């Protein structure tokens, strides 16, 4: 699953991105660390491309905040880095 997430499209102009974005968001709750990590990286690419977190950023921010306490150092670091992205989108 983690490898599949790394291949998903995060280009906001792409017609399939909406589905891929939902997969990233759902995968933040996956029981497997590599899947959660790839989901955060996918959201990071989205945020870099758009300048903000995805729609429904309130829930996304809550989940990312929880991931900053994860047992995985790389996941904590990635979630913390993503939370530093200014959110100019609607909540």
Contacts by residues 23-26 (CB-CB < 8 Å, ≥ 24 positions apart): 24/54, 25/54, 25/56, 25/59, 25/60, 25/63
Domains of the chain plus CATH, in order, are 2-6+19-83 (1.25.10)
Only one residue has tokens 């906001």, namely 12
pLDDT digits (tens, 9 = 90+) for 2-34: 444 444 455 555 555 566 788 889 999 999 999
Quick one: pLDDT at residue 31? 95
Q: How far apart (Å, rounded) are the C-alpha atoms in residues 2 and 15? A: 22
On the question of pLDDT at 70 being above 80, the answer is yes
pLDDT at 16 (0 to 100):
53
Mean pLDDT of 44-53: 84
d(CA 14, CA 39): 18
């Amino acid at each position: 699953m983690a490898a599949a997430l790394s291949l998903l499209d995060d280009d906001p102009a792409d017609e399939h991105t909406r589905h891929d974005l939902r997969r990233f968001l759902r995968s933040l709750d996956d029981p497997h660390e590599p899947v959660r990590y790839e989901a955060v990286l996918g959201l990071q690419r989205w945020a870099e491309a758009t300048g903000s977190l995805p729609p429904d950023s309130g829930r996304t921010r809550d989940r990312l905040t929880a991931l900053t306490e994860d047992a995985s150092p790389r996941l904590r670091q990635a979630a913390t880095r993503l939370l530093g992205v200014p959110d100019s989108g609607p909540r």
